[in-house]
Structure 1
Amino acid sequence: MLSVLSIRDVVLIEALDLEFGRGLGVLTGETGAGKSILLDSLGLALGARAESGLVRQGQTQAVVSASFEIADPAHPARAMLTENGLATAAGEPVVVRRVVKADGGSRAFVNDQPVSAGLLRELGSMLVEIHGQHDDRGLLNARGHRGLLDSFARADVRAVAAAHGAWRAAEQALARARADIETAAQDRDWLEHAIDELSRFAPEDGEEETLAAERADMQKGARLSEDMVAVMDAFDGSDGGLAQLRQAARRLDRMSGEHPLLAEALAALDRAMIEASDAEDRLNQAAEALRHDPERLETIETRLFELRGLARKHRVAPDALGELLRELTERHGRIEAGAEGLVRLEAELAEKAAIYLRAAEALSLVRQAAAVRLDAAVASELAPLKLDAARFRTVVEPLPEGQWSAEGRDRVEFEISTNPGAPFAPLAKIASGGELSRFILALKVALAEEGGAGTMIFDEIDRGVGGAVASAIGERLARLADKAQLLVVTHSPQVAARGAAHLLIAKSHDGTVTRTGVTALDEGERREEIARMLSGANITDEARAQAGKLLEAA
């Protein structure tokens, strides 16, 4: 709901701050008083095209800001603000602002954050509907007609949307499977060759490191072989060092009792023999580990060469060859099982498509039934609005399969025929602005304001009519105002009398400067203004009496 509108230096408006409430607000004034300037200012704040000619003469810029209260947390404007990082805390208003410079250019703001004019325009369309003679938004846009009909029908589109999502997911899964199988089938010969080659080689995890270590040991053994032989010879045989130590120990053992130092020498010799024996064992183990086997070394080097060659060929690390063999084997298996998998995915796709079709067909029936009810509801509103020769219809027709969507498979558009025998045409094709506004009002009443913005503005909807028709317009506007905030620019006293609030727009002159101002009228002032609308410049007592009757009847 629009709560505050502030205007600075727009054409004839120097400074204006207006507060608005719920219900029906009417704006009246003499022709040329500046009502269009007020609507142009609001349109500017909502993202309309900015023109430097709107800046008041002598000023550098014009500024318009509008504050909106959005009580519903699920309002689409709230979601849009959140998506763009512009959200306010619960209970705080949404403030839009537009600055237009006299030398050209403009800036847009939402909640004091700079935004593009396009984003401001999109947000504005969610907050306010402006229905005027040249407005091409709101009900004139056929893209929104399907959603309006669904709201009128209380149709649950969620089941169709879910079925459509599942159908498209199954379609994508089948397409991916077919692409994978086609790609894999093209590589069948290569796969079979690679699997055969790797299987015959039989790579083992960690094999490169093991083979490289064994080869390094053998290469060391080859370098150390002569020294190892010499060292082993010092230990081996009856003349070896260890044999001589044992022989010396036996002789010393027979003499050790003769002197304490001999006993100590024997103990030290025993320790030396133990260490020498341990050294002999370690030498034997080292000799075995470093044993140089030319045939084994050649086998290891051949294996390493082939292992690393296969790794380079398949562009993987040598230790990843085993995993590669498993992956290629699985890929080959998918090719073999591909036909069976495709059959399953094709069956799933057919099932999901059938579910969507059933849901979409059920939704089409709901829409067709609702269209009949909506046509009847609109028809009942046309005669009181002096549109009794006109006809209205809601077109519900199937779309080509390529245009089916989460909203179903129907095209929905509102069409009218303004004269007997004239063909039906889209709403926007109506030539008469007055007829267009009244048609929109009739449709709004029939739709019971389903899916509309929280604030609606009707600009001179009563142009060219009076009497009973004007009364019918006023009565319907008041009904709509029970469910949304309505602002109406009117020349009709019958409409003005229906307002919950009344703003008078007037020009004033101080001899050099002309200004447009707006005044909120009290009950007495309302009676006087409605009397002026009835009788003209010379207000008569009869006009005042008639104005009182209109206000009482409202």
Structure 2
Amino acid sequence: MIRELFVRDLAIITELVLPLESGMTALTGETGAGKSILVDALGLVLGDRGDVTLIRHGQERAEVGAVFEIRAHEPLFAWLRARDLEQGEECVLRRILNREGRSRAYINGRPVPIQVLREVGRYLVEIYGQHAHQSLLHSGGQRALLDAYGAHNLLLKEWDNAYQRWQQLSQELETLTQAASEQTARLELLRYQVEELEVFRPEPGELEQLEQEQQQLAHGTELVQGVESALDLLYQNEQGAIYVLLGQVARQLAQLRVIDPNLNAPLELVESAAIQVEEAASGLRHYLEAVEIDPEQLKWVEDRLSGFYELARKHRMEPEELPALAERLASELRDLETLDVRLGKRQEEFATASKECRTLAANLSEARRKAATKLEQGVTEAMQSLAMPGGCFKVVLSPLKEGEFSAHGAEQVQFQVSANPGQPPGPLSKVASGGELSRIGLAIQVLTFQYGGVSTLVFDEVDVGIGGAVAETVGARLRELGEYRQVLCVTHLPQVAAQAHAQIQVSKSHHEKVSAVELTLLDKEKRVEEIARMLGGKKITERSRAHAREMLEMARRKSKGNSPHRLS
């Protein structure tokens, strides 16, 4: 529910903060005072299209914010968590319009696209009136409302599982069928490629080993000559070998350390160097024994490398990727050779899944027809007492084509209405006026409130073209809803306003030729004065005050004794 609405520099609103409570709240005031602007502001913060003409004259930007209490609203919590937007038990929305036409949106302080603002709005508020922000006008919202009214949760869960399986098998079957249509040509190519690669048999890591071996074989003579020269310098030259010279140095230092023991450390290093030189010489001799100058092996290695490079060019890849390619193509060949078997198995599984979907879709359709009949009767009956005598409400279920399914079943749902006798029913969004749409929405909400839905309902123009007993009925229905939902109602009728749990007066003030909107939460006596004004115009009499008190007392008595379920 909305805890607070903040508006700055929007239309004739300079700045206002509107705290709200649970129950039914009536917004009243003179015509043109700015009541519907508050509904427009709420629509903006819920993602409605922004217009720079809404920005207050002389200002560069307009801002609207709303704080929602979302305690115990698990679907919304899950939605926020999935987008990393969760912030405790509150959801704070913010919208900014500027003169350049740019619009910025925020959820819990995080910038988001306007579309995301619209998505979160569907969890929070339903607006009835001349506003686009209402799911009642959209097929998806109508279907969801019918399913909630019919308590189809179990059927929908079964359908979702079956549909997901059906859709997965449908996609797999399409892929296999496409592969089967190309099977012959692909098999011929694959068999040739796999056979070629199997003959060549590239091994992982082989290319690197071949390149290293080729380097050694191609420079065999150079390696032998170089190693022999190094061995001669280190050890084998009897006159100038490093090992011989180190031996001479060691003997000299051994004689001198008798005179100065400080030469012990240098002597040990020289002796150690001589040992390492001897070990290096031994390693070089072993290397010379192992190294081969083999022209035939060199030719084989170079041919093998040429094979790697040629196959890599043919398959347009790096040579080291050939082993993985060979494995992948062999796997694809095995799959294609067993394609007919797998295709037949998928066709059987798909037929079984389709049969299950047809059964579940039929069950869901039947349940929807029963719920639709009951909802039609209830809404049509309510319309008779809501200034639409002779009107009727219809729920049309339009089947999809044979064998087609959607994520929501096998039909589309559309609400249709005829607001006047003799007129054929038409789509709700096209044939109902703003006031009629509000009253139809009211009738539907009264019938369905116990089945869930958003916690805040806004009714604008619900009382257009009505009065007397009808207005009292409308007010009573709104108050009834207010026991279970937060209800905001913009009204000109005292019969409606008197039914509210709380009343806010919207007025326009003028200061230095500048108009501004002011809000006043009315106490008991001020409510009497405002309802008396609504009853008798500008001139308020004791008789109109007495009538106002009587209306408020009657509304209080009617609701007394009910078990309230208001949000807290």
TM over 0.5: yes
Aligned to 1:173: 172
Q: Any residues of structure 2 matched to 1:352-431 within 5 Å, and which?
A: 352-400=353-401, 404-430=405-431
Shift of the 444–317 alpha-carbon distance from structure 1 to 2, 3 Å rule, reads: closer
Aligned to 1:86: 85
SS at match of 2:527: helix
Contact 1:215 1:301 in 2 (8 A): no
- Report the Cα distance in structure 1 between the residues aligned to 2:327 and 2:100, rounded to whole angstroms: 72
Q: Any residues of structure 2 matched to 1:121-270 within 5 Å, and which?
A: 121-133=118-130, 135=132, 137-156=134-153, 157-180=156-179, 185-194=184-193
- Report the Cα distance in structure 1 between the residues aligned to 2:15 and 2:213, rounded to whole angstroms: 91
Aligned to 1:536: 537
- Report the Cα distance in structure 1 between the residues aligned to 2:439 and 2:289, rounded to whole angstroms: 110
- Report the Cα distance in structure 2 between the residues aligned to 1:109 and 1:211, rounded to whole angstroms: 60
- Aligned residue identity for 2:474: I
- Report the Cα distance in structure 2 between the residues aligned to 1:496 and 1:287, rounded to whole angstroms: 109
Q: CA deviation at 1:201?
A: 6.8
Q: Which moved more, 1:455-464 or 1:172-181?
A: 172-181
- Aligned residue identity for 1:165: Q
Task: Provide, for residues 451-497 of structure 1, a one-character-per-residue CA deviation record: whole Å limited to 9, x for no partner.
Answer: 53221111131122122111110111112112211000111212111
- Report the Cα distance in structure 1 between the residues aligned to 2:114 and 2:331, rounded to whole angstroms: 55
Aligned to 2:463: 462
Shift of the 73–138 alpha-carbon distance from structure 1 to 2, 3 Å rule, reads: closer
Contact 1:185 1:335 in 2 (8 A): no
Q: CA deviation at 1:519?
A: 0.8
Aligned to 2:233: none
Aligned to 1:480: 481
Task: Provide, for residues 259-316 of structure 1, a one-character-per-residue CA deviation record: whole Å limited to 9, x for no partner.
Answer: xxxxxxxxxxxxxxxxxxxx9xx99xx9999698xxxx75x56754664454344328
Q: Which moved more, 1:189-198 or 1:541-550?
A: 189-198
Shift of the 347–212 alpha-carbon distance from structure 1 to 2, 3 Å rule, reads: same
- Report the Cα distance in structure 2 between the residues aligned to 1:302 and 1:42, rounded to whole angstroms: 83
Aligned to 1:34: 34
Contact 1:108 1:114 in 2 (8 A): yes
Task: Provide, for residues 345-392 of structure 1, a one-character-per-residue CA deviation record: whole Å limited to 9, x for no partner.
Answer: 211221222222222221111111111111122122122213230011
Contact 1:86 1:113 in 2 (8 A): yes
Aligned to 1:10: 10
Q: Any residues of structure 2 matched to 1:299-318 within 5 Å, and which?
A: 304=301, 307-315=304-312
- Report the Cα distance in structure 2 between the residues aligned to 1:68 and 1:101, rounded to whole angstroms: 24
- Aligned residue identity for 2:187: R
Contact 2:55 2:62 in 1 (8 A): yes
Q: CA deviation at 1:151?
A: 0.9
- Aligned residue identity for 2:166: W
Shift of the 11–171 alpha-carbon distance from structure 1 to 2, 3 Å rule, reads: closer
Contact 2:213 2:301 in 1 (8 A): no
Contact 2:152 2:367 in 1 (8 A): yes
Shift of the 442–323 alpha-carbon distance from structure 1 to 2, 3 Å rule, reads: closer
SS at match of 2:397: strand
Q: CA deviation at 1:26?
A: 0.5
- Report the Cα distance in structure 2 between the residues aligned to 1:188 and 1:12, rounded to whole angstroms: 75
- Report the Cα distance in structure 2 between the residues aligned to 1:478 and 1:418, rounded to whole angstroms: 24
Shift of the 531–357 alpha-carbon distance from structure 1 to 2, 3 Å rule, reads: same
- Report the Cα distance in structure 2 between the residues aligned to 1:318 and 1:547, rounded to whole angstroms: 93
Report which of the two structures shows the higher radius of gyration computed on alpha carbons. Answer: 1
Aligned to 2:106: 109
Q: CA deviation at 1:327?
A: 5.8
Q: CA deviation at 1:536?
A: 2.1
Q: Which moved more, 1:193-202 or 1:133-142?
A: 193-202
Q: CA deviation at 1:85?
A: 3.8
Gaps of 5+ in 2: 225-281, 556-568
Shift of the 14–363 alpha-carbon distance from structure 1 to 2, 3 Å rule, reads: same
- Report the Cα distance in structure 2 between the residues aligned to 1:373 and 1:358, rounded to whole angstroms: 23
Contact 1:5 1:67 in 2 (8 A): yes
- Report the Cα distance in structure 2 between the residues aligned to 1:8 and 1:422, rounded to whole angstroms: 45
- Report the Cα distance in structure 2 between the residues aligned to 1:195 and 1:18, rounded to whole angstroms: 75
Shift of the 116–338 alpha-carbon distance from structure 1 to 2, 3 Å rule, reads: closer
- Report the Cα distance in structure 1 between the residues aligned to 2:498 and 2:91, rounded to whole angstroms: 31
Aligned to 1:71: 71
Structure 2 residue 507 is the aligned partner of structure 1 residue 506: yes
Aligned to 2:565: none
Q: CA deviation at 1:444?
A: 1.9
Contact 1:131 1:138 in 2 (8 A): no
Q: CA deviation at 1:425?
A: 0.1
- Report the Cα distance in structure 2 between the residues aligned to 1:171 and 1:541, rounded to whole angstroms: 75
Q: When the two structures are superposed, what TM-score results if normalisation uses the length of structure 1?
A: 0.77
Contact 1:378 1:442 in 2 (8 A): yes
SS at match of 1:498: coil
Q: CA deviation at 1:424?
A: 1.3
Shift of the 338–309 alpha-carbon distance from structure 1 to 2, 3 Å rule, reads: farther
Aligned to 2:444: 443
Q: Which moved more, 1:162-171 or 1:509-518?
A: 509-518
- Report the Cα distance in structure 2 between the residues aligned to 1:195 and 1:309, rounded to whole angstroms: 19
Q: CA deviation at 1:29?
A: 1.2
- Report the Cα distance in structure 2 between the residues aligned to 1:193 and 1:105, rounded to whole angstroms: 61
Q: CA deviation at 1:22?
A: 0.3
Contact 1:4 1:66 in 2 (8 A): yes
- Report the Cα distance in structure 2 between the residues aligned to 1:10 and 1:215, rounded to whole angstroms: 80
Q: Which moved more, 1:389-398 or 1:208-217?
A: 208-217
SS at match of 2:65: strand
Task: Provide, for residues 232-283 of structure 1, a one-character-per-residue CA deviation record: whole Å limited to 9, x for no partner.
Answer: xxxxxxxxxxxxxxxxxxxxxxxxxxxxxxxxxxxxxxxxxxxxxxx9xx99
Shift of the 423–186 alpha-carbon distance from structure 1 to 2, 3 Å rule, reads: same
Q: Any residues of structure 2 matched to 1:291-330 within 5 Å, and which?
A: 298=296, 304=301, 307-315=304-312, 330=331
- Aligned residue identity for 2:539: N
Gaps of 5+ in 1: 225-278
- Report the Cα distance in structure 2 between the residues aligned to 1:100 and 1:287, rounded to whole angstroms: 86
- Report the Cα distance in structure 1 between the residues aligned to 2:73 and 2:27, rounded to whole angstroms: 30
Q: When the two structures are superposed, what TM-score results if normalisation uses the length of structure 2?
A: 0.75
SS at match of 1:160: helix
The alignment yields a C-alpha RMSD, in angstroms, of 3.8
SS at match of 2:18: strand
SS at match of 2:385: helix
Task: Provide, for residues 35-82 of structure 1, a one-character-per-residue CA deviation record: whole Å limited to 9, x for no partner.
Answer: 123323333333333344434444444333221111134233x44444
